[in-house]
Amino acid sequence: MSKPEFFVTPGYGEKALDLLYYSQAVKVDNRVETSGQGGWNDDFEIPESLVEEIEQAFRNVERTLKTAGAGWEHVIHVNSYHVGGFPKEVNETMSRLYRHYMPGHAPIWTQTGVEALGLPTMRVEIRVTAIVA
């Protein structure tokens, strides 16, 4: 097994490393694991719209994967964490974005309702596992 290599996403990842001292992704051999990615911008601002927050979280996953040399095409497992339950727009948006980002395969998915996430206004957080062939 090779030595773990840690990655910091430019922008929000650099701020998270400075403020909270954690990395956005780790790669060991051909496996990439990400930290939970919220729907924030580089200033950790969250959109008011839940749909826009989920869409931004997917873009942040993409940014973080790219930093570690991977992409959505490599994702095999998704964990999503949701505050406020699962209104219709959550599953509609998640499945629409799965089809958009991973048209060639459907990953396994664990969806969990939680009381709170890392920022007070967050309603969604997504973390993934990817295998880079």
Give the per-residue pLDDT at 21: 97
Q: Residue 114 — left, alpha, or beta (φ > 0 → left; ψ -120 to 50 → alpha)?
A: beta
Q: pTM to 2 decimals?
A: 0.96
Q: Determine the Cα–Cα distance for residues 68 and 66; give it in Å rounded to an integer.
A: 5
pLDDT in tens, 53-66: 999 999 999 999 99
Q: Residue 83 — left, alpha, or beta (φ > 0 → left; ψ -120 to 50 → alpha)?
A: beta
Q: Which domain holds residue 67?
A: 5-131
Q: Mean of the pLDDT values across residues 61-76? A: 98
* Total tally of structural domains belonging to the chain: 1
CATH no. for residue 108? 3.30.1330.40
Kind and range of the H or E run holding 59: helix 50-67
Identify the sign of the CA torsion 19, 24, 62, 116. Answer: negative
pLDDT in tens, 28-39: 999 999 999 999
